[in-house]
């Protein structure tokens, strides 16, 4: 096509139009170029043409730009375990659709699609907008051609590069959970979390808990219980000692199975002790607690990518930011008003 263009002294796009007999070109020009092409023996590549036809047929509205949603193959396990993740993608997809973008998930896998291959795909597809979704802590770097991309991360604060992050607001979630339990009339409210979760989320649960306790009288402040990996599976004894020693009347936790462990110590919820979850899922309809707003996390991530695209802000930010999405309280039978038992 380049050869034809040079020979006919026109641009290659003109050649393309002429060979398709496009009416935008004067008839004389079309014929002149067609003759040159015939003389030089130019033929359109049928494979390429077939590919183009196929591509256009599967994209009825031409030119819908896409935003890539990159998933960590290793994190697939937690996708099946944590109810939040599919909701994040759905929120992102919906937000993209409303703005006229398509959302395309890509699963990064060292064997199938690695970062280098993904880079080629994004470049070939002309995709600049990228959402890096939750990555497991064992992946520490993600090498893509960042100067070309408008990108944000969901959680994954441990992961290089330092992009803008969108995440659930665990500080607010914990503060809200504690405040609501106090409003319901509980006086000795304790927090149970794991050292692993606190490491991954920058001590977010304890930070929220401590600042909210700072405004309480000394008598209402309960030291949090942090579980090690080793006692994560059977924390009943530790839990029982802590509940006893701290005279606890209500527990808040990001771990929903803590409710089960409490009952395994012989205490009944809510008769002996109230419980509120800090990450309610649809599978726990009876629990009171805080619902994390996973769909809004996905939506905000896409909105920020589109804002970067509009402002042509590519590459790594000068200083990174974190955007926190708040959760909301839901009443449940595991935490009725405290006076019901007096």
Partner 1 sequence: MLRASVTIKDVAHAARVHYSTVSLALRDAPVVAAETRQRVQEAAERLGYAPNSVFSALSRYRPQREVARRRPQIAYVTNCADQADMRRHPHHRHYLEGALRQATRLGYGMKVLHVSETEHDSESLASYLKRHDIECLVLAAFEPGFSTLALDWDAFCVVKIDSRHIPPSVGGVSIDQLEVVRTAHREMTALGYRRIGLAVRRAEEESTDHRFTMGYFIEQAALAPGSRVPPLLFPHNCPDDEMGRLLCRWARKQKIDAVLTPWAPAGEHLRRDGLRVPDVVALALLSLTKPDPELAGVRISPGVVGAKVVSHVATLLRTGQRGISAFPTHTYVAGLWQNGASAPGR
C-alpha span between 339 and 113 (Å, rounded)? 58
C-alpha span between 201 and 171 (Å, rounded)? 10
Contact between 27 and partner 1 (CB under 8 A)? no
| Residue 164 burial (CB count, 10 A) | 19
User: For partner 1, which stretch binds (CB under 8 A), given 39-47, 68-76, 95-103, 186-194?
Assistant: 95-103
User: For partner 1, which stretch binds (CB under 8 A), given 10-18, 81-89, 103-111, 295-303?
Assistant: 295-303
Angle of CA points 270, 276, 278, to nearest 5°: 165
| Identity of the residue, 86 or 320, whose beta carbon is nearer to partner 1 in the bound complex | 320
Pair 333, 288: CB distance under 8 Å: yes
Beta bridge partners of 160: 141
Pair 30, 18: CB distance under 8 Å: yes
| Identity of the residue, 71 or 309, whose beta carbon is nearer to partner 1 in the bound complex | 309
Contact between 52 and partner 1 (CB under 8 A)? no
Name the packing angle between helices 294-311 and 84-98 (round to 10°): 40
Pair 131, 154: CB distance under 8 Å: yes
Site residues (CB under 8 A) for partner 1, limited to 174-213: 203, 206-208, 210-211
Cα first-last separation, the chain: 87
Of the residues 142, 303, 332, 335, which one makes contact with partner 1 according to CB under 8 A: 303
| Identity of the residue, 224 or 332, whose beta carbon is nearer to partner 1 in the bound complex | 224
Q: Is 138 exposed, middle or buried (0-12, 13-18, 19+ CB in 10 A)?
A: exposed
Of the residues 14, 194, 277, 293, which one makes contact with partner 1 according to CB under 8 A: 293
Contact between 63 and partner 1 (CB under 8 A)? yes
Interaction mask 114-153, partner 1, x per CB under 8 A? ----------------------------------------
Residues within the interface to partner 1 (CB under 8 A): 56-57, 60-65, 97-101, 164, 169, 171, 203, 206-208, 210-211, 214, 293, 296, 300, 303-304, 306-307, 310-311, 317-326, 328
């Amino acid at each position: 096509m380049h050869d034809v263009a040079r020979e006919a002294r026109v641009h290659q796009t003109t050649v393309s139009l002429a060979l398709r007999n496009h009416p935008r070109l004067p008839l004389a020009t079309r014929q002149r170029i067609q003759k040159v092409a015939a003389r030089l023996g130019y033929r359109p590549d049928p494979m390429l043409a077939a590919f183009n036809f196929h591509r256009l047929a599967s994209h009825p509205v031409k030119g819908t730009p896409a935003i890539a949603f990159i998933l960590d193959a290793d994190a697939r396990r937690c996708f099946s375990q944590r109810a939040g993740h599919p909701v994040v993608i759905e929120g992102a997809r919906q937000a993209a659709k409303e703005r006229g973008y398509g959302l395309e998930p890509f699963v990064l896998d060292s064997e199938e699609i690695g970062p280098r291959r993904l880079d080629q795909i994004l470049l070939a597809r002309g995709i600049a907008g990228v959402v890096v979704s939750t990555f497991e802590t064992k992946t520490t770097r993600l090498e893509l051609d960042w100067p070309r991309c408008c990108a944000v991360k969901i959680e994954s604060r441990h992961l290089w590069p330092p992009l803008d992050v969108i995440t659930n607001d665990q500080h607010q979630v914990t503060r809200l959970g504690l405040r609501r339990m106090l409003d319901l009339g509980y006086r000795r409210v304790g927090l149970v979390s794991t050292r692993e979760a606190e490491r991954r989320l920058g001590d977010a649960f304890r930070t929220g808990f401590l600042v909210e306790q700072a405004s309480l009288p000394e008598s209402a402040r309960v030291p949090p219980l942090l579980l090690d990996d080793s006692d994560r599976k059977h924390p009943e004894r530790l839990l029982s000692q802590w509940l006893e020693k701290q005279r606890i009347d209500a527990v808040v936790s990001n771990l929903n199975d803590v409710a089960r462990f409490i009952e395994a110590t012989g205490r009944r919820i809510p008769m002996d002790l109230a419980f509120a979850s800090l990450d309610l899922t649809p599978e726990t309809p009876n629990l009171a607690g805080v619902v994390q707003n996973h769909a809004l996390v996905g939506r905000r991530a896409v909105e920020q990518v589109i804002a970067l695209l509009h402002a042509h802000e590519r590459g790594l930010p000068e200083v990174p930011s974190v955007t926190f999405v708040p959760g909301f309280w839901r009443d449940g039978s595991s935490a009725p008003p405290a006076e019901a038992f007096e």
